[in-house]
Structure 1
Amino acid sequence: MGTFSDLVKSWSSQLSLYSKTEAESLVNWLLEHHLGMRRVDMMHFLEEKDLPKALHTDLERLKTGEPIQYILGYGPFYGREFEVTHDTLIPRNETEELVHLIIKENPGRGKKILDIGTGTGCIPITLNLEMKDSEVYGLDVSEGALEVARRNAKKLHAEVNFLKCNILNDLPPLIDLDILVSNPPYVPKKDQSEMHRNVVDFEPHLALFVPDEDPLVFYRVIGEKGKRLLKKGGRLYFEIYEKAAIEIKALLEKEGYDRVTIHSDLNGKERMITANWN
């Protein structure tokens, strides 16, 4: 009979793609999910042979680099659990910081908000739940992602209107927005080799990558269309590629936005940009 800590150590050592701390965290998450117990309750452990077969199956998937959120079918975001599938990106900490910035900068009730490239719906759902009397829309080009977003909204009792739209080709049928937010595809294909394989191999490339010859295409198009979507005094919020912060700022200023500001995340990386439309 091994101890709980022996099991965590043994399994985490098999996850060579991750650091020791990350691997142990993933193993603990997997055990808690399958056994339905908190970590503190698992200290008095049972034999490894008594563990459910599905747990061993999921460990094998973890070894391939598949993100645990896809394995378990959910991921945390802003204190809530969101369903994720291979049609959606996994909600990330930087996006939580973007949402927190929007909430902090926009007090008051009744804001009209659009999220472009909504994925799981984590941005518009959270904004609807955190901002009183908000009228919130989320759009995506992927029907698979929209189905996930709608399920998340229903489960979390959020009122969000989801639309299918290719922002590069179409203008959403909305006007007088207070807030336009987007975490669009922004990684040039040439940078794919620099990314962790658990992102490249498993997350949807449609939501990740842009052409090398036009890497700012989404920022340019959304910035241009945002001038027709936003009311005077409306605010534009982007999650950005840290390597392109200066270029995106210049692009928005050229489009006529003012108070264009680059924001760093908690790790000191330039990952957000805000602008006013006047």
Structure 2
Amino acid sequence: MLLKEIKDIFHKELGAIYPKEEIDSFFYACIEHYLKLERFILAIRPGIALTKEEEQPLFEALSELKQEKPLQYILGTAHFMDMEIMVNENVLIPRPETEELVRWILDDTRSQMSDVRSQKSGVKNQHGDDETVHPSPLNILDIGTGSGCIAIALAKNLPDAKVFALDVSESALLVAQQNARSNGVDIGFLHQDILISQFDAKQVFDIVVSNPPYVRELEKKQIQKNVKDFEPETALFVPDEDPLLFYRAIIEFSEKHLSKSGKLYFEINQYLGEETKALFNTRNFSEIELRKDIFGNDRMLKAIKK
């Protein structure tokens, strides 16, 4: 069968579910993944034909797309911060909003490191020579790591940092470990439930970051089928009567295990920005900042330990 005929079949079979542009995106992603063909191939070789063996994975993907299964789960990979991240039904698919959170952390950290170097520049040692500045390595903890995308991005961009990643799901940790290996970073993985975690009192982190479950059950009707039916519920949903339970637990954890002037970063429910911010009112934190994402939704929050 001709490749362009298969493209037409994609549009015919999926046209009632997805917009034309999205179907094009699905088709080209599939031929790149399965056949290693660039998206412009039909422009230069409109008559290209496929064997039955080459057709098979395309039609299998089409069948799963008709069930509204996310393309990332079909292909087994997702893009995040210029990285390829393996994903399956045990972990959430990384979102662009989460990239914004990571970039916020990186901008803050690099700015802080630059300030430290500036403050120490010109300091002389006992021999009158300029003293070499070696900032202490940062200890970073990602709580609810899932695919490991946040921890891995931080480890790749802050190579001197010691990065740890925690999750309650052993299946998720297996995915995260594979992603750390394939992206060439060393991360300490911890299998724990943050709601009942028991850390050594001496364990202290300079940065704690989390994208915990935050979607209320009442919001399920707003969630698209490809998310609701395929992504792991335990990583998404929280009870209506206590939607901020993970944030409260992580704040309490951070009061004990975040260093003085250490930073806590959250991805948050866009409808509960002020409520999440209010959790810090009686806590040992300052400079609480609520930040919007590129879509104008309350999405990120930062606080600094006093």
State the TM bucket, normalised to the shorter chain.
Answer: over 0.9
The residue number in structure 2 matching 1:38 is 38
Q: Which is worse superposed, 35-44 or 152-161?
A: 35-44
| In the alignment, structure 1 residue 102 sits paired with structure 2 residue 105 | yes
The residue number in structure 2 matching 1:203 is 231
> Distance between the aligned counterparts of 1:113 and 1:247, measured in 2?
26
The residue number in structure 2 matching 1:234 is 262
Within 5 Å, give how 1:1-278 maps onto structure 2: 4=4, 7-15=6-14, 16-43=16-43, 44-45=45-46, 46-47=48-49, 51-107=54-110, 108=113, 110-173=137-200, 175-278=203-306
> Distance between the aligned counterparts of 2:25 and 2:297, measured in 1?
24
Task: Give the number of the structure whose alpha-carbon radius of gyration is greater.
Answer: 2
Write out per-residue CA displacement over residues 221-241 of structure 1, whole angstroms, 9 at most, x where no aligned residue.
Answer: 101111111000000000001
Write out per-residue CA displacement over residues 75-125 of structure 1, whole angstroms, 9 at most, x where no aligned residue.
Answer: 111001011111100111111111111000111362110000000111111
Write out per-residue CA displacement over residues 160-185 of structure 1, whole angstroms, 9 at most, x where no aligned residue.
Answer: 00000000111334632110000000
Q: Which amino acid aligns with 2:139?
A: K
Kept after mapping to 2: 8 A contact 1:121/1:153? yes
List 4+ stretches of structure 1 deviating above 3 A: 1-4, 6-10, 47-51, 171-174
Gaps of at least 5 residues in structure 2 are: 114-134
Q: Which amino acid aligns with 2:26?
A: L
Q: Which is worse superposed, 69-78 or 49-58?
A: 49-58
Aligned-residue offset at 1:13: 4.4
Kept after mapping to 2: 8 A contact 1:175/1:231? no
> Distance between the aligned counterparts of 2:95 and 2:76, measured in 1?
15
Write out per-residue CA displacement over residues 239-267 of structure 1, whole angstroms, 9 at most, x where no aligned residue.
Answer: 00100001000112332321111111111
- Aligned-residue CA RMSD (Å): 1.7
TM-score by length of 2: 0.86
Secondary structure of the 2:64 match is helix
Indicate how the Cα distance of structure 1 residues 42 and 252 shifts in structure 2: closer, same or farther if over 3 A, else same. farther
Instruction: State, as a whole percentage, how many aligned pairs show the same letter.
Output: 40
> Distance between the aligned counterparts of 1:245 and 1:202, measured in 2?
27
> Distance between the aligned counterparts of 1:28 and 1:197, measured in 2?
23
Aligned-residue offset at 1:27: 1.7
Secondary structure of the 1:75 match is strand
Kept after mapping to 1: 8 A contact 2:204/2:259? yes
TM-score by length of 1: 0.94
Indicate how the Cα distance of structure 1 residues 240 and 47 shifts in structure 2: closer, same or farther if over 3 A, else same. same
> Distance between the aligned counterparts of 2:183 and 2:51, measured in 1?
37
Gaps of at least 5 residues in structure 1 are: none
> Distance between the aligned counterparts of 1:268 and 1:20, measured in 2?
26
> Distance between the aligned counterparts of 2:6 and 2:107, measured in 1?
43
Indicate how the Cα distance of structure 1 residues 12 and 275 shifts in structure 2: closer, same or farther if over 3 A, else same. farther
Q: Which is worse superposed, 183-192 or 38-47?
A: 38-47
Aligned-residue offset at 1:3: 7.1
Kept after mapping to 2: 8 A contact 1:61/1:71? yes
> Distance between the aligned counterparts of 2:66 and 2:51, measured in 1?
19
Kept after mapping to 1: 8 A contact 2:3/2:50? no
